[in-house]
């Protein structure tokens, strides 16, 4: 195989593996059991996903997604719902406004004003 064919072969193998593994489902992705809820904070409707286990002990875990993510996407990624079912705690996955939390960096003053109220929303 010449030098030109090696990168093409690697790309083809990677695509085949991606297609193969995308056919499998992961157990924590099948057991989402999320309920979408919303509350009003400072005049803005804020949404979150809530997982309620069959038996609860009164504990709550709040899981924040990264920039550009969502509550549902971090729920799929982490597998906390399955652990919550085993240990009996609630899991809340809040959604940030415009998919970003106001982390205090002040990168954009206008944007920082829009996302005010995250602490009120979370606590």
pLDDT tens for residues 104-114? 666 655 555 55
Q: d(Cα 108, Cα 48) in Å, to the nearest integer?
A: 25
Total residue length of the chain: 123
Owning domain of residue 111: 32-122
Task: Provide the CA 89 distance to its chain's centre, in angstroms.
Answer: 18
> Is residue 95 domain-resident?
yes
> Is residue 6 domain-resident?
no
Could you give the number of structural domains in the chain? 1
Percent of the chain past pLDDT 70, that is, above it, reads 67
Find tokens 């982490």 and name the residue.
78
Structure pTM?
0.68
- Report whether pLDDT(63) > 90: yes
pLDDT value, residue 22: 52
- Report whether pLDDT(39) > 70: yes
Task: Provide the CA 106 distance to its chain's centre, in angstroms.
Answer: 23
> Is residue 87 domain-resident?
yes
> Is residue 49 domain-resident?
yes
Most confident by average pLDDT, 1-5, 24-28, 80-84: 80-84
> Is residue 79 domain-resident?
yes
């Amino acid at each position: 195989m010449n030098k030109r064919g090696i990168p093409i072969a690697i790309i083809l193998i990677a695509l085949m593996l991606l297609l193969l593994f995308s056919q499998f489902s992961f157990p924590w992705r099948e057991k989402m059991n999320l309920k979408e809820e919303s509350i009003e904070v400072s005049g803005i409707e804020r949404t979150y996903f809530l997982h309620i286990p069959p038996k609860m002990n009164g504990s709550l875990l709040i899981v924040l997604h990264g920039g550009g993510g969502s509550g549902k996407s971090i729920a799929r990624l982490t597998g906390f719902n399955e652990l919550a079912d085993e240990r009996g705690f609630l899991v809340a996955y809040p959604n940030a406004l415009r998919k970003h939390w106001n982390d205090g960096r002040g990168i954009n003053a206008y944007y920082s004003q829009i996302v005010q109220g995250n602490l009120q929303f979370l606590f």
